[in-house]
Amino acid sequence: MKQLFILLGIFAALAVVPFFVSSEFWLNAVLLTLYAALLGQSWNILGGYGGQFSFGHSLFFGVGAYSVAVFQVQLGVNPWIGLLLGGLFGSVIAVGIGFLTFRYGLRGSYFALVTLAFAEVFRIVSNSLWWTGAGEGILIELDQRAVMMQFKSLSHYYWLLWAITLVCFLTVWSLGRSRFGARLMAVRDNEDAAGAIGVDAFTVKLKAMALSGLFTGLAGVFYAQKFLYLDPGIAFGPAVSVESLLVPIVGGLGTLFGPLLGAAALHIVGEVAREMIGDAPGLNMVVFGTILVLMVMFLPRGIGGLGKMSVRNIFKGGK
């Protein structure tokens, strides 16, 4: 219960940010942090709670983004319906890939490689189909009306993202107190032992894929509507995959607040790095890569784990 109050408190504070932050630049910074938290939390469902490390989450992101764009541009489907379609297709593709990989018992790095490979396949395919706009990409026509899910004010985009992210975080909160969540974490920690006491690991992992794909797909829809342009490299390239996994690993795997902490930390580091080394393209990725290596070596529980660790040590010392 305490966790829920903290969560709702944080989101209540986030909801009123646009009233207090007048600068477009800073509101955009908070928005991008929230967006990273959404991507990270989606990945966290599968990777942090389920122990299945995907290296190809851009696949679900791209499917969501292209869903809303293609349906809108080619068929004139309203983007609010596209939002549902994007989440749905992200989820369906995730389950499909989960079915193919988990059926053959692929785990660990093999699972990571297969997801990476599928993302690449989709990138190449979307590069050559006319209806995805091929290599030129796809442009959503500017039409700044709420009914077209386009807004004049940045704060409206912000609230849309806030709502999606809140649903995602509430879902993850419920994992911590449900049968499905308990089973998912049991599968993560020991699949054989979980099976011996009646956990159907295959189904549990597919459900986690479905949830993770759903929210990553929704993040894709948001991206498409915010920037109104997609190409195969943006949608299915490795950048989104890396961001998705970096955020929870830095913040704390398998924890509710990890992705928020991770997203905030990475954005602060990213801004500082840009200030210090200038706008050299790609250099921020070098910084992120270094952080990832250091985190895995010295802080495997992430920033969130720092607090837990010291509390536990105090507890132990007191005994």
Task: For residues 218 and 164, give the distance between their C-alpha atoms in angstroms, rounded to a whole number.
Answer: 8
Task: For residues 16 and 158, give the distance between their C-alpha atoms in angstroms, rounded to a whole number.
Answer: 10
123 vs 207, which CB is nearer to other proteins?
207
95 vs 204, which CB is nearer to other proteins?
204
2 vs 145, which CB is nearer to other proteins?
2
Least CB distance from residue 190 to other proteins, whole Å? 5
Stretch that binds other proteins, among 7-15, 113-121, 185-193, 217-225 (CB under 8 A): 185-193
HSE-up of 137 (CA within 13 Å, CB side)? 16
Least CB distance from residue 256 to other proteins, whole Å? 15
Task: For residues 248 and 252, give the distance between their C-alpha atoms in angstroms, rounded to a whole number.
Answer: 5
CA nearest neighbour of 8 among 247, 170, 218: 170
Residues 93-122 close enough to bind other proteins by CB under 8 A: none
Least CB distance from residue 57 to other proteins, whole Å? 24
Per-residue mark of binding to other proteins, 200-239 (x: CB under 8 A):
xx--------------------------------------
Ordered alpha helix ranges (H), the chain? 2-15, 17-20, 24-47, 58-75, 79-103, 108-126, 154-175, 179-189, 191-196, 201-227, 232-236, 238-251, 258-277, 283-298, 302-318
Residue 178 DSSP symbol: S
Task: For residues 255 and 308, give the distance between their C-alpha atoms in angstroms, rounded to a whole number.
Answer: 11
Least CB distance from residue 194 to other proteins, whole Å? 7
Task: For residues 303 and 173, give the distance between their C-alpha atoms in angstroms, rounded to a whole number.
Answer: 19
152 vs 308, which CB is nearer to other proteins?
308
Q: Which residues pair with 138 in a beta bridge?
A: 230
Query: Are 251 and 308 a contacting pair, CB within 8 Å?
Result: no
272 vs 311, which CB is nearer to other proteins?
311
Least CB distance from residue 16 to other proteins, whole Å? 32
Among 96, 195, 233, 238, binds other proteins (CB under 8 A): 195
Q: Is 197 near other proteins (CB under 8 A)? A: yes
Among 194, 224, 263, 264, binds other proteins (CB under 8 A): 194
Least CB distance from residue 45 to other proteins, whole Å? 17
Q: Is 193 near other proteins (CB under 8 A)? A: yes
| Residues near other proteins (CB under 8 A), total | 19
HSE-up of 186 (CA within 13 Å, CB side)? 18
Least CB distance from residue 262 to other proteins, whole Å? 19
CA nearest neighbour of 17 among 31, 36, 4: 31
Task: For residues 147 and 163, give the distance between their C-alpha atoms in angstroms, rounded to a whole number.
Answer: 17
41 vs 255, which CB is nearer to other proteins?
255
143 vs 189, which CB is nearer to other proteins?
189
Least CB distance from residue 307 to other proteins, whole Å? 16
182 vs 228, which CB is nearer to other proteins?
182
What is the contact surface with other proteins in residues (CB under 8 A)?
Answer: 177-179, 182-183, 185-186, 189-190, 192-201
